[in-house]
Amino acid sequence: MTKKSPRNKPNGQAMPVMEKVAEPEIVTISSPTSKPSSPSNTVLEAHGVHKTYSSAEVLHGIDFTLAEGERVALIGPNGAGKSTLLQCLAGWLPMDEGEVTICGASLTRDEQKARSSLVFLPDTPNFYQSLTAWDHMLMVGRFHDMIDVEPASEYLLHSLGLWGVRKSYPSTYSRGMKYKLGLALGLLINPKVILLDEPTAALDPLSARVMWRMLDEFQAEDNGAVLLSSHQVELATPGIGRFFLLINGNKIGDSTPQGWIERYHLPSTATVASVFTAAIDEFAKAHPEATGEDL
Amino acid sequence: MFEFQTRLRSMFGSIAALRLRQTRWTLSYWAWAFGLLPSSGKWGERISFVYIYLLAVGVMTPAILQLIGGLYLLEAQTAEALQVRILWITIPWIVAIIGVIFMVLPWKAWMLRLTFGDMTYLSPSPFDRRVLAVWRYLEMVGTIPLLVLLPLVLIAPMFGSIWARDVIPAVLRGALAIGLWSAPLLAMGWHLSIQDYVHKPPPVGVRWIARLSLIVIVGVLIVAAPDILLWPGRLIVLLAMGQLAWGWLLLAAYALLSVIIIWVIARHLSLTRASAGSDVFARIQQLGVMVLVDRRLLLSILGEARANESRAVGTLPKTRGIPTIYARAALYYRRQFGQAIQLVLVGLALGFGMILWRPFNLVTVIITVVLLTMVLPPWLASIFRNDVSVPFISQFIPQPATQRILAASLVPCLLVMVGLLPVMLVLNGLLPGWAWGLAPIVWVMSLVGHVEAIGKRSALGDRSIVTVLLGSAAVFAVVWSATTSSTVGIEALLPGILIAATVSFVLVLFAEIRHTGIVA
C-alpha cells in the first residue's frame, strides 16, 4: 500500500512519492494586514505565540498564517526573534503560550502528525557523523518508505552541485554545502511546508539562484509553502508574496510589498531597509520604553 | 653567530614566557573553580568548598596513607627471590612495553599541540620551527618522570628493602632514569611523525614502511632475543638502586643526541601543515574543563576527526520503514568497528563477572544495580544518543520516538550478547543457575539508555535523578527476579522476560510522556 504518481523532473527522472498521511484539516484565519488565505488552503497557522528566555520575552503573542503554494519572507533587525519564531513554528523549541497548527494538526496535541508535514532548515544544519551525504539521502528516503529514492536523490544532488561529493562526510563540507544538503533532504520527502532560516547567507550567487528555482518548482508543482527568514531579500525579490516584519519580538505587520509601500508612504523603489527604518520609528513612538539600543 | 644565539635565546625566552602565562591562567582558572578566589562566589558558597576540602583531606589522606602502608608491609614480607624476579623480569617487561608505546605515541599525538591561538599568531610568524619543536619535545619528555612518580612510590620498597636504606632517593633516581630513557624513544616516534608535517613529505608508502619496519624489528626481537628488550628496564632498576653510575652517562648522552636529532629534523617543519595536523588537538583544548564534564563533546570531535580521515566504506543496506534503523546501525558499526568490538567486550566482561559475582545480600545487589545503571546504559545507547542530538535529521524520521527506542535498543543488546553467549555456553559449569537472566538485564539496561536519550520535543534527554532512579528500579526488578528464580538454565529467563517486558512498557511510557512534554 502506498505511494505512486511520480512526476517527471526536468532531467526526466521521477520524483519519489511517499505514503500520504491523512488529508489536512483546513482552518481559516484572517489577518487584517496579510494577504487573505483562502479557507481551503492554510497549511500553517500560529496564534498568540509567546516565548521567554530566562526573564526576557522574545516573542510577544505572534499570529501568523501560511497558505499552500505561498512564499513569505520573515524579516526584521538582528535579534528580532526570527529564528526563535521559526523554531517555535517547527516544534524545535517549546512555546510558553500559543497554538501552532500544521496542516490541521496541533503541534502541542498531535505533534507527530503536525511535524510530518513540515521541514525546518536551520542556518547551519548538522548531520550524522558516520553517514555520507548519499547515505543520508537514502536513509531519509527509506525511513519514509519511498520508492525511487535513488533517482530522486541523484536529481536533487546533481541540481544542487553535490553529486561529486556525495560520498564524503558532511562534516567535511562548507556551510553552504551543508545548507544545500539540508535543502536536498527537505525537498526529497516532499513536505507541505518548508521553513528556511537564512537560506542565502551561506550560498554563492549561483547556488542561491538554483535554490530559488527549486523552491519555485516546489511551490508550483507540489503546492508547497515556504517561510524564510533572510537579510538578503528585497521587496522586489521575485516569488515572495508577503513580508512578515518582526521588531523586538513584536509583529509589526504582514503584508505584500505594495502593502508596505502604501503603509509607510514609500516610493515604489523602496527597499527592505527603508521599511525597517519607517517601522522602527513607528515602533519607537508606540513603545517609548524601548531604548534605541534595544532596537 | 652571536646574533643567532641571541635570537634563539629570545625565542626560547618568549615561548617560556608564553607557557608560564598559560600555566598561570590555568592555575587561576582552577583556583576560581575550586572557590579559592574572591570572584569564585559568595562567602557562603566558598566556605562550603572549604568544608568539602577538609572532609576530602580528612577522609582520603588517612585512607591513602593506610593503603600505601599496607602495600609497603606486603612488599616487605615478599620473599626475596620473588622480589628479585619482579625487579629483574616483570618491571623490565613493563618498561619494554611502555617503551614501544613511547615510540608509537607521537605518531598520533599531534606532537606540536598547537592551539588556535598558536595557529593564528605563531604559524605566520618567522618564529624558528626548531625552537618550537624542541620545546614541545622537551615538555613531553619532562612530563614522563612526573607521570611515573606515583607508580614508583608504590613499588619503592622493592628497591629499598633489598639494597637502599631510604626509598625516596630510589624513587627520584628511578623517575629521572625513566625520563632520560624515554627521550630517545620519543625522539624516534617524533622523527617518523615529523615527516608528515615537513614542507615536502615523503610518499605515504615510504612513511608506512618506516613505521612497519619499526614494529617488525620489535616483533623479531620479542621472538628471537627477548632479553635485549629487557636491558633498558634492568638498567633503570639498577640506576634506581644507585648502582652502575656509568649508566647515567649513557642515558644522558642518548637524551642529548635525541634533542639534537629533533633540532635537525625540525628544520623542514611546515607550521601550516603542523597547524592542520593540530586541528583536533586545538578543538579539544578549546573545550577546557568541559572535556572532563561532558565526554560526549570529546567523543564527538574524535569521531568526526576519524570520519574525516577515513574513506567511507560500505553503503546503507536496502530496507524500508523502521528496519532502516538496523541498516543505519549496521553501517555505523562497520565504519566504527572499534565501537562494536567494545560492546562485544562488555558482553565478555559481564560473562566473566558472573563467575565471581554472587547476590550475597540485598546491599550487594543494590550496589551492583546502581553501578550498572550508572555506567552501562549511556554506553549501550551511545549511537542513539548521537543520533538524537541531531534534531535536523530527527525531523526526517517519521516513526514515533517509542518505536525508534524499541528498535534501536536491540542492536547494542545483540552485540553484548555476542560476547556474552560464548562465555555462558563454554563456562556454563562455573556460572550460577540464574546466569541466563543476564539476557533480559542487558535488554533493560539498553532500553534505559535509549529512554534517557529522548528529551522533550527535539531535545536530547539528559540524565536526571528521575531517569537514574527509574533505570535503577527497572534493572533491580530484573536482577532480583533473575537471581531469586527457582528455575535453572533457559527456564530462568521466563520470569526475567516477564518482568523485563513490564519494565520495558513502563520505560517506554515514561519516554513518551517525557518526549511529548507532559512531564518536563
List pLDDT tens digits, range A251-288.
999 999 999 999 999 988 888 888 988 988 888 888 77
CA neighbor of B333 nearest in space, from B324, B341, B325: B341
User: For residue A95, is pLDDT > 70?
Assistant: yes
Which pLDDT value is given to residue A5? 34
Total residue count of chain B as it appears in this document: 520
DSSP annotation of B397: -
Q: Are B266 and B194 in contact (CB under 8 A)?
A: yes
Chain B residues lying within 8 Å of A90, measured CB to CB: 395
Contact B316 A139 (CB under 8 A): yes
User: For residue B339, is pLDDT > 70?
Assistant: yes
Q: Which residue has the higher pLDDT, B507 or B179?
A: B179
User: For residue A167, is pLDDT > 80?
Assistant: yes
Using DSSP's 3-state secondary structure scheme, residue A47 falls into strand
Which pLDDT value is given to residue A28? 32
List pLDDT tens digits, range B390-409.
889 989 998 888 888 888 88
Calpha distance A99→A63 (Å, rounded): 9
Grid cell in block for residue B459: 531535545
Q: Are B75 and B155 in contact (CB under 8 A)?
A: yes
CA neighbor of A44 nearest in space, from A56, A20, A62, A57: A62
Full-model pTM:
0.70
List pLDDT tens digits, range B421-438.
998 888 878 887 777 778
Nearest CA of chain A to the CA of B339: how many Å?
12
Reported confidence tier of residue B488, pLDDT bands at 50, 70, 90: low
Chain B residues lying within 8 Å of A118, measured CB to CB: 395
Q: Which residue has the higher pLDDT, B511 or A228?
A: A228
Most confident of the following: A38-52, B282-296, B312-326: B312-326
Q: For A101-125, what is the mean pLDDT? A: 89
Reported confidence tier of residue A10, pLDDT bands at 50, 70, 90: very low
Looking at every residue in chain A, the average pLDDT score rounds to: 83
Contact A90 B303 (CB under 8 A): no
Which pLDDT value is given to residue A116? 87
Looking at every residue in chain B, the average pLDDT score rounds to: 82
- Note every long-range contact of A260-264, with CB atoms under 8 Å and residues 24 or more positions apart, other chains counting: A260/A235, A261/A235
Most confident of the following: A168-182, B162-176, B263-277: A168-182
Which pLDDT value is given to residue A17? 42
Q: For B336-344, what is the mean pLDDT? A: 88
User: For residue A37, is pLDDT > 60?
Assistant: no
Chain A residues lying within 8 Å of B400, measured CB to CB: 112
Calpha distance A243→A254 (Å, rounded): 6
Contact B304 A127 (CB under 8 A): no
Reported confidence tier of residue B492, pLDDT bands at 50, 70, 90: low
Residue of chain A minimizing CA distance to B307 = A130
Residues of B in CB contact (< 8 Å) with A are: 300, 303-304, 307-308, 312, 315-316, 318-322, 324, 327-328, 331-332, 335-336, 386-387, 390-393, 395-400, 456-458, 516-517
Full DSSP string of A4-46: --PPBPTTSPBPP-----SPPPP-----SSSPPPPTT-EEEEE
Q: Are A154 and B418 in contact (CB under 8 A)?
A: no
Chain A residues lying within 8 Å of B393, measured CB to CB: 126-128, 136, 140, 185
Residue of chain A minimizing CA distance to B316 = A135
Backbone angles phi, psi at A105, to 5 degrees: -100, 130
Burial, A195: exposed, middle or buried (Cβ in 10 Å; 0-12, 13-18, 19+)?
Answer: buried
Minimum-distance CB partner of A139 among B312, B328, B391: B328
Grid cell in block for residue B400: 514515533
Candidate from A68-82, A192-206, A227-241 with smallest mean pLDDT? A227-241
Q: For B12-17, what is the mean pLDDT? A: 82
List pLDDT tens digits, range B73-122.
777 777 778 878 888 888 899 999 999 888 888 776 667 778 887 777 77
Q: Are A225 and A67 in contact (CB under 8 A)?
A: yes
Contact A90 B395 (CB under 8 A): yes
Contact A143 B324 (CB under 8 A): yes
Q: What is the dihedral of CA B368, B369, B375, B380, to 10 degrees?
A: 130
User: For residue A295, is pLDDT > 60?
Assistant: no
For an interface test with A, which of B313, B382, B411, B457 has the most A Cβ atoms less than 10 Å from its Cβ?
B457
Reported confidence tier of residue A139, pLDDT bands at 50, 70, 90: very high
Q: Are B395 and A120 in contact (CB under 8 A)?
A: yes
Chain B residues lying within 8 Å of A3, measured CB to CB: none
Q: Which residue has the higher pLDDT, B504 or A162?
A: A162
Chain B residues lying within 8 Å of A189, measured CB to CB: 396
Contact A136 B393 (CB under 8 A): yes
Contact A111 B516 (CB under 8 A): yes
Using DSSP's 3-state secondary structure scheme, residue B372 falls into helix
User: For residue A15, is pLDDT > 70?
Assistant: no
Residues 6+ apart with CB under 8 A from A104: A24, A25, A26, A27
Grid cell in block for residue B98: 611502555
Reported confidence tier of residue B235, pLDDT bands at 50, 70, 90: very high
Nearest CA of chain A to the CA of B31: how many Å?
29
Contact B303 A119 (CB under 8 A): no
Full DSSP string of B187-224: HHHHHHHHGGGBSSPPPHHHHHHHHHHHHHHHHHHHHH
Chain B residues lying within 8 Å of A126, measured CB to CB: 390, 392-393
ipTM: 0.83
Reported confidence tier of residue A103, pLDDT bands at 50, 70, 90: very high
User: Cα separations (Å) of A289 from A165, A284, A286, B331?
Assistant: 52, 8, 9, 57
Buried (b) or exposed (e) across B269-278, using 16+ Cβ within 10 A?
bbbebbbebb
Q: For B175-198, what is the mean pLDDT? A: 90
Calpha distance B499→A81 (Å, rounded): 49
H or E, element range at A118:
strand A118-121
Calpha distance A157→B389 (Å, rounded): 25
The residues facing A45 across adjacent strands are A65, A101
Calpha distance A153→A276 (Å, rounded): 40
User: For residue A39, is pLDDT > 50?
Assistant: no
